[in-house]
Every structure is written in structure tokens, then in C-alpha cells.
Amino acid sequence: MTKFITILTTCLFFIQMPAQQEIRTKSKIQKAEVYLAQALLSHQTPAFNLNKGHQTVIVENIATSVIPNTIQISGKGNFVILSSQFQLNYIPSKSVSKKIQQLEDTLEYLQSKKNNLDIQLKTFEDEENLLIVNKSIGGQNTGVSVTELEKMANFYRTRLNDIRSKKSELTPKIKKLKEQIDNIQNQLNELNTQKNKPAGEIHIEIYANDNVNNAQLSIEYICTNTYWYPEYEIRVNDLKQPAQLLLKAQIVQNTGIDWENIQLSLSTSSPVMSHSKPELTPWWLSYSYNYPKKVSRYKYKGKEEMNAPSVAYSEVPAADKEGVKLAKSAENTADYTQSVEKATTQQFQIQIPVNIPSNNKPTRIDVQTQNIDAHYTYYTAPKLSEYAYLLAEISDWEKYNLMSAPLYIFIENSYIGESEINADITKDTLQLSLGIDKNISVKRQLVKKLNEKKIIGNNRKETRGYEITIKNKKKNTIEIVIEDQIPLSTLQEIEVEMLENSNAIYDKNTGKLTWKFNMNPDEERKIIFKYSVKYPKDKNINL
């Protein structure tokens, strides 16, 4: 009897204990700080009510690529946050978006219209076939009068012309409708892929000390499947004026939620990198064995490389002409970006709300525009390429906080080609290659009369001489740097001697010859350099 009373009391306790409530609420993403890999997302829920006691709040509209141990939750209201758990919901209750519904309605209308035209076309085709198959007139033993024959001929001609005319009108209409249907179907297929993906949600256990009105939750977490990478544009309109350097950001996110009207910031930090300081371990020496090295198959294309960007620079007239008022230029996100220096990273805060869809496709936004003081010069290495390259030399470039990235070149608002910025160099001056200028002619040739071959005792002595011709076909004075080289000896029995260098700066360690001078419009210069090589006559070398 006592045992029965105990069981009955326990059952009554569980019957009377209120069931734990479950509250669903959608969160809205407020901010996103995107790193070079991963991103920090900040959400906020709308206000909701809590009853006293335990309950589970399920927060929807969370990224599907959350790193669970980075979740941070805070709230407003008289309640205690007990625990949280991230989950993927593979059966989300997603309502069909307005855009999808509109496309589906349009598709249904167009398909119905096309079906009606298909029916008309098929009817005309059947009638045409019927007339052609049944065109015999009269019986086998009965002739046809001329009048009847003429009447039937007129009938066939009129009716067939009418049918074929109607068919020619229907065919392009059907074709056009089919193209529209295919385009809408392709768009729907792309949008519908988002409907079949799981949804992220966070289950939060809460204990309310009392009934709470207008409770709110704020959630932050790190997620994957999102990153950004930099790109630069350099715009040069006048070699006597500062260049304009524009930083662009390509932002990619596939987190499962669209970022709509969010506060966006971009950070040069990369959380996936190890941030622990390195430790040196003992360095043990042992015998090593030399193995033959593989010969590289790479060949420099040199003069045959014709894909280099080219630039034809000329003086630019002033944009404003007297009496002409220019319309105000449209602004971009770079006008609303604040650059913030942090201890080890840089952050770009976009001060205007932006939209970044979750489609794994790059969204390009303007981040920063800087005017940079650059010294412009031309460079050529005619042994490798008989082109002159326009260079922008930037001193004290560290103050611009540049990143290694592709560089797209615009001269006088025309796209010239692509180069790159290497921010890892340690030189004081950063050189940016702005492309080829075909208005500077460069030619390098072997001078036969300077070539000699002699036998001196047990040695052979060969002399080589080259002539470099440069012509400035531009309308303005230029500064140009020319580089060439003579060979270096690695063996004592091979002797290399510089004979003539046209006042070049000669680096004995690298064999490099450098000339630097200014050239007036239409000026032509010739540079001659000559060297000799002495080596044992029973040996062969390539010169």
C-alpha cells in the first residue's frame, strides 16, 4: 500500500509540473566583421515575452557554418542564460520569398500563353497536311471541268497561303516565349537551391525569475564560409600630378543567410593562422648527401611575350572648359569608409549599410581612395624584352598600409592591364609597373665589327659588342633606366673583362649594367657595350 501511494504521488507531481516552454524567434544580423578568412557576425532578436521558470528559446536565422565554441550570448531582462547549443535544422519552415513567387507566377502565365500558341500552330500544321494529302479532284472515270479545276486551285492556293502565313507569325512568337521561359526557369533554379539548404539555429536554455516583457537576446559568433580579399586600381591622368590608388574589396559569403542592411567592417586579421609564438628546438647536424638537381624546363618567353599591357600616354586636357559646368560625381562606399589602426591589424569600417547575399559569389565594394605621390620613370631590359615599361616609384610607401594584391591599371580612364603590389618587400621605394609604352622604341643588336676571336697560347679570347638604340617618340621629356648585363665567371681559368660600357654603372657582383638619363621629345640615343671572355681553347662555352 505504501509503495502504491509513493508511485501515485510521483505521477501526480509530474502531471502538475508545467511543461517547459519553447519559444521560436528570428534574429536579425546587425553587424559583420569579415576577416581574410572567417567573419564575426552579430545578431539581435526582436522583443519577446518570457514566463517565469525554465524555457527554451530557439533563435533562427543563424549562419550554418558557426564555430560553436565562439558563440557569445547576452540579453536584456530579468532572466538567467543557462546554456546554448548550435543546431542545423534540415526541415526549416521557410516561406517562399516574394521574388520566387513572382517568378513562378510569371512562368505559369508565359507557359500557358506558349501552350495556346503551340495548339494553334499544331492545328494549322494538321490542316496543311490534310489539304496536301487530299488534293486529288474527281473520280477515276469522271473528268473535271475547267471551271471546277480553277475553283479548287484557287481554294487550295488561298487556304495554304493563309495557313503558312499564320504559321510564320506564330513561330517567332513561340520562340521568344520559350527564351523567356528558359531564362526565368534558370533564375528560379538558382534561387531554389537556397530553399533546399539547412538552416542554422541556436537553442538557448533560460530561467526567468519572473514574468518578463520585452526580453531581448544579442548573439555573436565566428563563422566560416566567408572571407574577403583586396584588389587595387591605380589611375594616372597626368604624370605631373599624384596618382589615385583605390582599394577594392571582393567579399564572398556562403553562410546560409543574406546580409541585408548591415554594418560592415573588413579586417586584415586572419584568425585561422596560429597566433602562438614559435619555439626553437635543438638543431642537430648529420652528414648529408648531394643528389643531382632536376633541370627546370621553364623558359623565359622574352621578346615573344606579347601579352604585356601597353600604355600610350599623352597630355590630358583639363576636364573643365570655360562656360561648361560638370555634374556632381556619384559617391561610392569609399566615401563612407573609416580606416582604423589596431595593435597588429587594420580595420576598414563602412559607415553606410550594405547588402551581401549568401551565394558564394564575390561582391565588390569600394573601400578606400588615396592620392599618392609618385615619381614616374621608364624602364627597359632589351636583352629580355624590347619594350619600355612605365614605372611609378612610391617613396615612404609604408604610410599607405598597402597589402599584397592584384593591381589594375587605368591611364587616362582607359584600362591598360594588370600588375601586382608586393607589400612584402623591404625596400624604401615601392615600384609599380604600369605597362608598356609603345611610343618609346627600343632595339638591341649584336655589332659584327666588334666581334673578335683570337687564340692566345693555350687560351681562346672572344669579344662581344652590343648596341642599344632608344628613341623617344613622345611629345614630352622622359626619364628612362636601361639595364643589360655581361657574363660572370665561376672558374679561375675563365676571365671576363669589361672593355666598353658607355658610362654605365657596373655592378661587378651581378654583371649588371645600368644607364639612367633624360630624353627630349624625338631624341634618339645609342649605347654600346663590349666585353671579352678568355678561356682554355680546348673547352667550349656559350656566349
Q: Is it the case that residue 7 has pLDDT exceeding 70? A: no
Per-residue pLDDT at 540:
81
Q: At 429, list the grid cell.
A: 621605394
Q: What is the DSSP string of 203-228?
A: EEEEEESS-EEEEEEEEEEEESSEEE
For the chain, the structural domain boundaries read 26-33+40-92+198-223, 98-134+154-195, 226-272+331-436, 440-536
Residue 28, pLDDT above cutoff 80 = yes
Q: Which of 75-89, 299-313, 364-378 is predicted least confidently?
A: 299-313
**95 pLDDT band (50/70/90 cuts)?**
low
Q: If you average pLDDT over residues 389-394, what whole number do you get?
A: 89
Nearest-angstrom CA–CA distance, 370 and 245: 5
Q: Round to whole Å and give the CA distance between 36 and 405.
A: 12
As a whole-number percent, the residues of the chain with pLDDT over 70 amount to 81
Residue 133 CA to residue 259 CA, distance in Å, equals 65
Find the range with the poorest average confidence among 116-120, 443-447, 525-529. 116-120
Reported as a pLDDT band with limits 50, 70 and 90, residue 411 is confident
Specify whether the CB–CB gap between 78 and 212 falls below 8 A.
yes
* Three-state secondary structure readout of 500-540: ECCCCEEECCCCEEEEEEEECCCCEEEEEEEEEEEEECCCC
Q: Which of 135, 60, 123 is nearest to 91 (CA)?
A: 60
314 falls in which pLDDT band (50, 70, 90)? very low
Beta bridge partners of residue 380, listed in sequence order: 482
pTM: 0.65
Which one has a higher pLDDT value, 369 or 151? Answer: 369
β 375-381/478-485 pair status: parallel
How does DSSP classify residue 53? E
Within 8 A by CB and 6+ apart from 33, the residues are 39, 40, 265, 266, 267, 347
Say how far residue 49 (Cα) sits from the centre of its chain. Answer: 45
pLDDT at 139: 52
Cβ within 8 Å of residue 512, ≥6 positions away: 483, 484, 485, 506
Partners of 375 in beta bridges: 393
More confident residue, 430 or 211: 211
Tens digit of pLDDT for each residue in 459-483? 889 999 999 999 999 988 999 999 9
The per-residue pLDDT for range 29-70, each reduced to its tens digit, is 999 999 999 999 999 999 999 999 999 999 999 999 999 999
Question: Does residue 312 have a pLDDT over 50?
Answer: no
- Residue-averaged pLDDT of the chain: 82
pLDDT given for residue 420 in this prediction? 87
Q: What is the pLDDT of residue 282?
A: 72
Measuring CA to CA, which residue among 455, 453, 456, 480 is closest to residue 469?
A: 480
Which one, of 90, 83, 28, lies nearest residue 60 by Cα?
28
23 falls in which pLDDT band (50, 70, 90)? Answer: very high
Domain 440-536 sits in CATH at 2.60.40.3680
pLDDT at residue 318 greater than cutoff 50: no
Does the structure show a pLDDT above 80 at 217? Answer: yes
Q: What is the mean pLDDT of residues 386-401?
A: 87
The three-state secondary structure class of 499 is strand
pLDDT of residue 285: 56
Residue with cell 523567356: 180
pLDDT value at residue 342: 66
pLDDT tens-place string over residues 324-337? 444 566 777 777 77
pLDDT at 300: 35
Name residues whose C-beta falls within 8 Å of residue 466's C-beta, 6 or more positions apart in sequence: 444, 445, 446, 447, 484, 528, 529, 530
Give mean pLDDT, residues 418-435: 82
Express each pLDDT in 172-211 by its tens digit.
888 898 999 999 888 888 777 666 678 899 999 999 989 9
Q: Enumerate the H helices of 196-315 as residue ranges.
A: none
Alpha-carbon span 308 to 389, nearest angstrom = 10
CA distance 415 to 436: 13
Which of residues 135 and 435 earns the better pLDDT score? 435
Residue range 381-393: mean pLDDT, rounded: 91
pLDDT at 61: 93
Cell numbers given for 196: 533546399
Whole-number Å distance between alpha carbons of 177 and 116: 11
Which pLDDT belongs to residue 14?
40
Can you give the pLDDT at residue 153?
A: 75
Query: Which of 108-117, 120-129, 441-450 shows the lowest mean pLDDT across its residues?
Result: 120-129
Q: Whose grid coordinates read 627546370?
A: 296
pLDDT digits (tens, 9 = 90+) for 243-288: 899 999 999 999 999 999 999 999 988 776 666 667 776 766 545 5
Q: HSE, CB side, 13 Å, CA atoms: give it for residue 376.
A: 20
The pair phi, psi for residue 459, each rounded to 5°, is -120, 155
Evaluate whether 397 touches 430 at the Cβ level (below 8 Å). Answer: yes
* Closest to 149 measured CA to CA, from 159, 140, 157: 157
